[in-house]
Structure 1
Amino acid sequence: MADLIGALSAMEGRPPSVVHQDLTLTGLDVQYIRTMPRTPSGTIPVQDGVLAVTSARDLLMAAACDTVAEEHRLVQPRRKPQRAKDFVDSARFGPSAPGSYVFTVQVPLPEPSSAGSLFEDVPELDVAPEPFARQVSRRMYEAVTAAHTAAERATVADDSAPFSEAVEQGISADLCEALAGIGGQDSRNPQTGPGNRQGHGFSLAFAWSPRWPVPYESSLTEFSQRLVSVLREGAQDLRRQEPDRGVTIVGRPTKLKRVANFGPGEVTVEGRLMKENGDLVGQQRQIHLHLTEEDYDRATDAHRSRRDLKIEGDLTRRGNYHELTNLTDFDVL
């Protein structure tokens, strides 16, 4: 057994003790979070350690929320789904491993069902449904990999667009904040001391339980100190792009444009926000709308008669203008 562990250690480039630990944790998906603070090996500043632990929890929550959600979101809702909270409650921190300072996060997987299957005579079809815990582990792996790629692209382009372009892969402001927190930068409180503002590099490795088909080869994703800063900036930009949902706008159409004399078109409204009591608040702002043919014709009539529109939808900032999408109400006043 010692020779076997030694051979696996040499092949995978990991310490024998870590390989042995994996062999004893067959019912768990395990994430190894190796932080690299500027302290003696095996230690971490207390504040950075607290932030790394809470950020590891937030990373689990971000992946669980994205797994539960029916749609990918730039920012996860404040009210977390109960299934996501139950999953995070089931996860646990394991013993530290040799290295600069290594946290291990253990995700328990259920035992495969021993009940018979309709396809038990056809091995390639005899696969039980993937448990939710494995779905979250897999989503986290995909999102962390996508965040690393987005951070590298954003560094080269000096633009945070790669983060919003990868939202479909599980990236969210919450996930990027969690990764930045593991690297010692608190995106939600950038004033938390000079050490946290500077940050440090870290790496994240995944080990998969053999109870279920292994979705990916175990690999190491490394985030340099520079990429940690880019993650923080990406999270802040994603939060700025998150739409205000269920907003009501009242204003007058100023520009109308469509390709032909019929069909849908684009309208620009100069308007203000309406509160629940009917008061208009805030400054006048240019708001772009994409309307159906019927609503576009109504907006055209309102433009000719100098009447206001009342529209409800999700308001998003796009550079120097705003866009209202997912319209739920459209009236001419």
Structure 2
Amino acid sequence: MSEPTSTVNPEELSGYLASRGWRREGTWRGATVWSRESAGRVLIPSSLEYPDDSELLDEAVRKLAMFEARPQEEILLDIAEPLVDVQSYRLQPETPSGTIPLPSAVKAVQGIHDVLKFSARTVEAGPQLLFRDRRSKEVDGFLQGVRLGTTTPGSYIFHARVPVAPPGPDPLFGAPVVGRHVLTVLHTALQAARQAAAQVVELDRPPGVFDDYVEQGVSANLCAALAGLGGAGRNQPFEVTFSWARDEPVNLSPAPIAFSAPMVRAISKASSELEALAKSETGTITGRAETLRGRVRGEAPRIKIQGELRTASGVYRRAVWVVVGEADYQRAFHAQINERVLRVSGRLVPDQKRLELRPDGGLEILPRQ
């Protein structure tokens, strides 16, 4: 009797089938019957004992590749690596399927690198408007463990394979920089960036709306990386899909997170604005009080002013949190009731979850016009 030749592990293949929605339907001549609606049936032997066992396993992989419209090599990788999360970046360049302009490809690879890098930095240091210092050895170590796969048919698709291990509790900022923590934070940040971009595109909100999503992992750096995925300034649509490791399931949606061309344009603009503001030292905000927040846990009172922010880098339509004393807080309260316009000048403080202004003088209530 000749030895079986397949390199597929029957137990790992069975685990893969179960994770993809296939069901056991009994046995046939010692092999387990697996089925899935519209995909037919496959036979999986319990072990590699007979020569035709290899044929059954290879046939199962061929059926899976046809059903999932993916190369067999990619299927085999997923079967053999049950503790790897896979991120798929589907770009849509205006070239034949499977090709991409060279400048766009360079930008895309750099974009994938930076998307993962700044998500890792968010895990390590917490959310920030703009990351400026050098990345740590822990972040470098994480990036070294990520493997970028070759493209597959269907526009131009990159696959980033990120090891889950070591598994741990739900991610908190300041947690170890490991794959599952980084991708969980990134999943939240991408959804937040898409929501912010949708508000700009669909509701005509200013780019300042991105400020409201910094605490969810959106930064100037992440926005710049996402703009790079849009193709070297060409603002082309793309989508990102997360396929979670089957041995460490997570309760997050596997649905693609899609960015339209107008969204990419909005994200690119937000990136430039966020970076310029984070580097601005002083500014003046003129507008109406939108939100008032009294003293909380020892923090000084704050008011959120929506209007026109002037800095050395330009003029922006946005909302800014202004730190005030008790007297100015009361004055802002009455100004809000009476719908009066406020003006405050001072120092901009970007090194935290939101852009804040620390006044160098008092709060000015402008006369009615």
TM range (shorter): 0.5 to 0.7
**Are the counterparts in 2 of residues 138 and 215 from structure 1 also a CA contact under 8 Å?**
no
Pick from 81, 95, 99: which aligns with 1:25? 81
Structure 2 counterpart of 1:139? 185
Structure 1 counterpart of 2:222? 175
Structure 1 counterpart of 2:143? 88
Provide Cα deviations, 1:192-239, integer angstroms capped at 9, x if missing partner: xxxx33332211111111232323132211222222111101212222
Structure 2 counterpart of 1:290? 323
How many pairs align? 251
Query: In structure 1, what residue type is equivalent to 2:129?
Result: L
Alignment of 1:235-274 (within 5 A): 235-242=271-278, 244=280
Structure 2 unaligned residues grouped into runs of 5+ = 1-56, 284-299, 304-311, 314-319, 330-344, 362-369
Query: In structure 2, what residue type is equivalent to 1:86?
Result: G
Query: Cα gap change, 1:14/1:144 in structure 2, threshold over 3 Å: closer, same or farther?
Result: farther
SS of equivalent to 1:50: helix
Task: Single out whichever of 229-238 and 43-52 deviates more from structure 2.
Answer: 229-238
Structure 2 counterpart of 1:36? 92
Pick from 195, 206, 215: which aligns with 1:149? 195
Query: Cα gap change, 1:65/1:39 in structure 2, threshold over 3 Å: closer, same or farther?
Result: same
Query: Cα gap change, 1:4/1:40 in structure 2, threshold over 3 Å: closer, same or farther?
Result: same
Q: Which runs of 4+ in 1 moved over 6 A?
A: 6-11, 127-131, 263-266
**Are the counterparts in 2 of residues 288 and 324 from structure 1 also a CA contact under 8 Å?**
yes
SS of equivalent to 2:94: coil
RMSD: 3.8
TM-score by length of 2: 0.57
Matched, 1:57 2:104: no
Matched, 1:108 2:163: yes
CA distance in 1, matches of 2:94, 2:65: 27
Structure 2 counterpart of 1:260? none
Matched, 1:162 2:209: yes
Relative contact order: is structure 1 or structure 2 higher (C-alpha 8 Å, sep ≥ 6)? 1
Provide Cα deviations, 1:121-142, integer angstroms capped at 9, x if missing partner: xxxxxx7677722100111111
**Are the counterparts in 1 of residues 91 and 157 from structure 2 also a CA contact under 8 Å?**
yes
Query: In structure 2, what residue type is equivalent to 1:48?
Result: S
SS of equivalent to 1:166: helix
Query: Cα gap change, 1:141/1:288 in structure 2, threshold over 3 Å: closer, same or farther?
Result: closer
Provide Cα deviations, 1:88-128, integer angstroms capped at 9, x if missing partner: 2221212322221111111123266xxxxxxxxxxxxxx76
Query: In structure 2, what residue type is equivalent to 1:324?
Result: L
**Are the counterparts in 2 of residues 201 and 228 from structure 1 also a CA contact under 8 Å?**
yes
Query: In structure 2, what residue type is equivalent to 1:57?
Result: H
Percentage identity across paired residues of the two chains: 30
Once the two structures are TM-superposed, the CA of residue 48 in structure 1 deviates from its matched residue by 0.6
Structure 2 counterpart of 1:302? none
Once the two structures are TM-superposed, the CA of residue 289 in structure 1 deviates from its matched residue by 6.1
Query: In structure 2, what residue type is equivalent to 1:238?
Result: L
**Are the counterparts in 2 of residues 68 and 81 from structure 1 also a CA contact under 8 Å?**
no
Query: Cα gap change, 1:134/1:294 in structure 2, threshold over 3 Å: closer, same or farther?
Result: same
Once the two structures are TM-superposed, the CA of residue 179 in structure 1 deviates from its matched residue by 0.9
Once the two structures are TM-superposed, the CA of residue 323 in structure 1 deviates from its matched residue by 6.0
CA distance in 2, matches of 1:136, 1:265: 32
Query: Cα gap change, 1:2/1:59 in structure 2, threshold over 3 Å: closer, same or farther?
Result: same
Query: Cα gap change, 1:58/1:264 in structure 2, threshold over 3 Å: closer, same or farther?
Result: closer
Query: In structure 2, what residue type is equivalent to 1:158?
Result: D
Query: In structure 2, what residue type is equivalent to 1:171?
Result: V
TM-score by length of 1: 0.63
Once the two structures are TM-superposed, the CA of residue 294 in structure 1 deviates from its matched residue by 10
